[in-house]
Amino acid sequence: MAVDSTYRPPREIDWTGIGFAVVLTIVIVFPLIVVGLWAFADVWRYPSVLPQQFGLRFWYQTLSRPDVWESITTSIELSVTVTLISAIVCLPAAFAFARLQFPFRSLLFFSFIAGQAFPKFGLLVAIAGIFLSLNLIGTFWGVVLIQLVGTLLYMIWIPVAAFQGVSPRMEEAARDVGASPLRVFWSITLPQAGPTIGAAVLLTFVNTFYETEGAWLIGAPAVHTMPILMISFINNQPVIQYGAVLSAILWLPSFFALLFARRVISGGSFARGFGA
Amino acid sequence: MSVLDIKGVTKQFGNVRAVDSFALTVGDGELVCLLGPSGSGKSTLLRMIGGFETPNSGSITIDGEEVIHLPPERRPTGMVFQSHALWTHMNVFKNIAFGLKLRRIPAAEIKRRVDEVLDLVGLTGYGNRQTHQLSGGQQQRVALARSLVLEPKILLLDEPFASLDQHLRERLREEVRDIQQRLQITTLFVTHGQDEALSMADRIVVLRDGRIEQVAAPDILYREPATPFVAGFIGTMNLIEGEVKDKRFTHSNFSHPLPIADGPAIFAVRPEALTIAPASGEGTAKIHRVTDYGTHGLVDLELHDGTRYKSMVPEARDWRSGQPVTLTPRVYSAYRNNAVAYRSS
C-alpha cells in the first residue's frame, strides 16, 4: 500500500484572523465605498440603498470650479516644497544622529518627538502669534514653515534607524578596497539605507498633503489646500457630492504612494524604518 | 614580496591597554596566526594594520614604508571580516569589481580579473548571483575574492570562519592555506581557535592581555610552551601548583623528582604523557570519571585534596571510576615566575 510520505496536519480555521479581517474591512473599506458611491451618484434619495442614478455630473461641476484647480496646484506645490526642504535639512541631520557623538545628542533627538507628543493646536497657536508679527500669516512660505515642523519626526527618526541599520563592517570593507569616506557614503551607506529613506520621504509627502491644522491656521484666508477646501465644502454646501468628489480625488496621492511603495520598497525594509 | 614590520605598537582604550608594546616581523609569503582568548587584543592589532584604528604609539611598516598615518583606502592591505560584510545591494561580480572600478581599470580587464579570482576561490560562474543566494561558506569566499582581486601586499583575516560550522570551517581552512601558498601572499590571521592556528600557520603568536606570550612554529608551541598560559591554552595541559623541596616536587599526595632550587613551582604534564597504573591500597589518585572516545580514553583523576587532572589511556574499558591509581609522568616540565624552570628529556 502506498503511503503518503508527507504528513499534513488538518488545517485549522483561524477564526480570530477572519474576525480581524472582517472588522478591518468594515471599518476601512465600508466608508470608502460609501464616499465612492456618493461621488458617482447623480441622484440618491432616501430610502434607496443604492443611488437611483449614477453619473459624472458632480465631477464636471466640481472640476469646473477654479478654486478646486487652484487648491490642487497649491497642495502639490506645498507638499513637494516641504518634502524637498525637509529632506535637505533632515537627512544630513539624521546621518549625524546615527553616526556621531555630540553633547545633548539624546535630548535633541527626543525633542523631535515633542511636536507630536503635545496637543498640536496649542503649539500652532503659539507659532501663529510669532508668524503674525513676521507677516507670515496667510502666505505660502508661512505654511511651508509650519508643515516642516510636522515632518521632522518622520524625516529624522526613520532615516536614523536606516543609517544605524547599515553595518559599520560593510563601510569598512569599502574603505579597505580603496573608497574614500564620501564614496563609501554614496556607494554603500545610501543604497543600503535607500529603501527605508524612500519610505520616510513618501510618508512625509503624503502626510503633508493631508495636513490641515497648520495649513488652515497659518494659511487662512489666502492659502487653500485641497483638504481645507474639502472641509469647507462639507461644512458650507448642502450638496454632499462636492465633498465626496473632492475626497475621491484626495485618494490619488495615497494610491500612487502605495503603488510606489509596492514597486520600489520591499516590505522588509519598509518595516525596518519603523524599527521592526 | 612583502614584509610587514610592527614595532612598539600600543593602543589604549580609556584605561585599558588593548595592545601593549607589540613587536613582530612577518616575513615574505608567511602566514602568521594571532591566537588568544577574546579581549587579548588580537583583533585590535589587525584593525590597526588595516588602518581602522590608530595606535597611540609605535610604527607599522610594509616593505619598509611607514603606513601608520595612511587611511585604510590608501594602505596596501586587504581585510576579510568575520561577518564577511558583503554589500547586499550588489551582486557577486559587483562586490568583487568595486575596488577595481575605483582604480579606473578598463571594463574588459575588470571582467577578466574578477573571473580569474572567482576561479581561484572555486566560485566559477557565480558572478550574477545575489549575495543572499549564497551559503555562509560561499559568502566568505566572495569576501576573500574581493580582497584578493586587488592583489594586496598583506592579507588580513579577522576570524573569517567563526560563523561557519565545524565541517565547513575545516574545508575552508585548507582552501585558504592552499590559495595563500599558491599566491605566496603575506598573511596575518586572527583566531581564537587553536586548531585553526595549529593547522594553518607557519608561526603562531599567542597573545594575552595585549602582550605577546610566545611566538613559535606550531610544533614548538605544543611541545615547548614558554609560559603556563601558553601551556594551558594550546591543547590540554595538567598544571599542578606545588612546592619544590630537596629536588622533589610535591602537591597534596603527588610527588616527583624535580632538579630545581627550593620554592614554589608549577608542574606541567600533558594527559598523553601521564601514565596511570592500578594501585593496591589508596594510591596517589582516584579515578573520578572515564570518557571513552573509541580511539582512546580520557581519565579524570582526583587527588586527595580534590584537585583534578587528566590522563589519556589507550583503552577506556580497562578503567572504572572509583579505582585508586598511581601516576607516572613521562615527559614533563616545570614553570617558575611565568617562565620555564625545567624541561625533562
Amino acid identity at A177: V
- 3-class SS of residue B282: coil
The C-alpha atoms of residue B52 and residue A77 are separated, in whole angstroms, by 46
Closest CA to B161 of B146, B144, B148: B144
> What is the C-alpha to C-alpha distance for residues B114 and B94, in angstroms, rounded to an integer?
9
* Ranges of H-type helices in B165-259: 166-183, 194-200, 218-223, 228-233
Distances (CA, A) of B307 to A55, B168, B229, B239, B263: 95, 38, 19, 11, 20
Contacts of B71 in chain A (CB under 8 A): 175
- Decide if B160 touches A, using CB distance below 8 A: no
C-alpha span between B311 and B305 (Å, rounded): 18
Query: CB B253: neighbour CB atoms within 10 A?
Result: 13
Architecture label for domain B4-231: 3-Layer(aba) Sandwich (3.40)
Contact B146 A173 (CB under 8 A): yes
Residue B88, chain A, CB below 8 Å: the answer is: yes
CA dihedral A111, A114, A117, A121 (to 10 degrees): -170
**CA nearest to B96, candidates B140, B146, B134:** B146
Q: Are A109 and A97 in contact (CB under 8 A)?
A: yes
pLDDT digits (tens, 9 = 90+) for B65-90: 888 889 998 999 999 988 888 898 88
Chain segment B148-207, per-residue pLDDT in tens: 888 889 999 998 888 788 888 888 888 888 888 888 899 999 988 888 888 888 999 999
User: Which CATH superfamily, name and number, covers B237-343?
Assistant: Nucleic acid-binding proteins (2.40.50.140)
Answer yes or no: are the C-beta atoms of B258 and B244 closer than 8 Å. Answer: yes
Task: Report pLDDT for A115.
Answer: 66
Would the pLDDT of B235 be above 90? no
- List the one residue out of B272, B269, B237 whose CA is nearest residue B254: B269
> Cβ of B101 under 8 Å from any chain A Cβ?
no
Question: Is the pLDDT score of B289 beyond 90?
Answer: yes
Residues of chain B with CATH 2.40.50.140: 237-343
Provide the percentage of residues in chain B whose pLDDT is more than 90.
32
Q: Are strands B254-257 and B274-278 parallel, antiparallel or unpaired?
A: unpaired
Short-list B303, B268, B312, CA closest to B284: B303
- Amino acid occupying residue B74: R
Distance from C-alpha of B334 to C-alpha of B336, rounded to nearest angstrom: 7
Low-confidence ranges of chain A (pLDDT < 70): 1-10, 115, 263-276
pLDDT band at B311 (very low <50, low <70, confident <90, very high): very high
Task: Match domain A58-272 to its CATH number in 1.10.260.40, 1.10.150.80, 1.10.3720.10, 3.30.300.130.
Answer: 1.10.3720.10
Percentages helix, strand, coil for chain B (3-state, rounded to 5) are 30, 35, 35
Bridge partners, residue B191, by sequence: B35
Which of B51, B89, B146 is nearest residue A177 as measured by Cβ atoms? Answer: B146
Residues of B within 8 A of A197 (CB-CB) are none
| Torsion angle defined by CA atoms of residues A169, A170, A176 and A181, in that order, rounded to the nearest 10 degrees | -100
A96–B contact, CB cutoff 8 A = no
CA distances from B343 to A63, A113, B132, B224, B231 (A): 100, 70, 53, 8, 13
The whole-number average pLDDT for the span B325-329 is 91
**Would an 8 Å CB–CB cutoff place A183 in contact with chain B?**
yes
8-state DSSP, B91:
B
Residue B268: band (very low, low, confident or very high) from pLDDT cuts 50, 70, 90: very high
Q: First CA to last CA across chain A, in angstroms?
A: 49
Dist CA B6 CA B47 (whole Å): 13
Spans of all domains in chain A: 15-54, 58-272
Q: State the number of CA atoms in the 13 A half-sphere of B225 facing the CB.
A: 26
Return the pLDDT at B98. Answer: 92
Instruction: Say whether B85 and A178 touch across the interface (CB within 8 A).
Output: no
Q: Are the beta carbons of B72 and A188 separated by less than 8 Å?
A: no
Q: Residue B283 and residue B253: Cα distance in Å, rounded?
A: 9
> Quick check: helix, strand or coil at residue B134?
coil
Q: How many other CB atoms are found less than 10 A from the CB of residue B203?
A: 18
DSSP states of B291-309:
EE-SS-EEEEEEETTS-EE
State pTM to two decimals. 0.74
Q: What is the CA radius of gyration of chain B?
A: 25
Delimit the CATH 3.40.50.300 region(s) of chain B. 4-231
What mean pLDDT value characterizes chain B? 89
Residue with cell 546621518: A95
Cβ burial of B55 (10 Å; 0-12, 13-18, 19+) is: buried
The predicted pLDDT at position B339 comes to 87
Q: Best of A169, A175, A176 to disrupt the B interface by mutation (most B CBs within 10 Å)? A: A176
Q: State the CB neighbour count (10 A cutoff) for residue A254.
A: 12
Which pLDDT score is estimated for B1?
Answer: 54
SS3 B274: strand
Write the DSSP symbol of residue B247. Answer: T
State the burial class of residue B207 (Cβ atoms within 10 Å of its Cβ: 0-12, 13-18, 19+). buried
CB of B102 within 8 Å of any CB in chain A? yes
- Give whole-number Cα distances, A15 to A20, A27, A108, A125, in Å: 9, 18, 46, 48
CB-CB under 8 Å, A177 with B87: no
**Omega of the bond prior to A47 within 30 degrees of 0, cis?**
yes
Beta-carbon contacts below 8 Å between A and B: 62
pLDDT attached to residue A1? 47
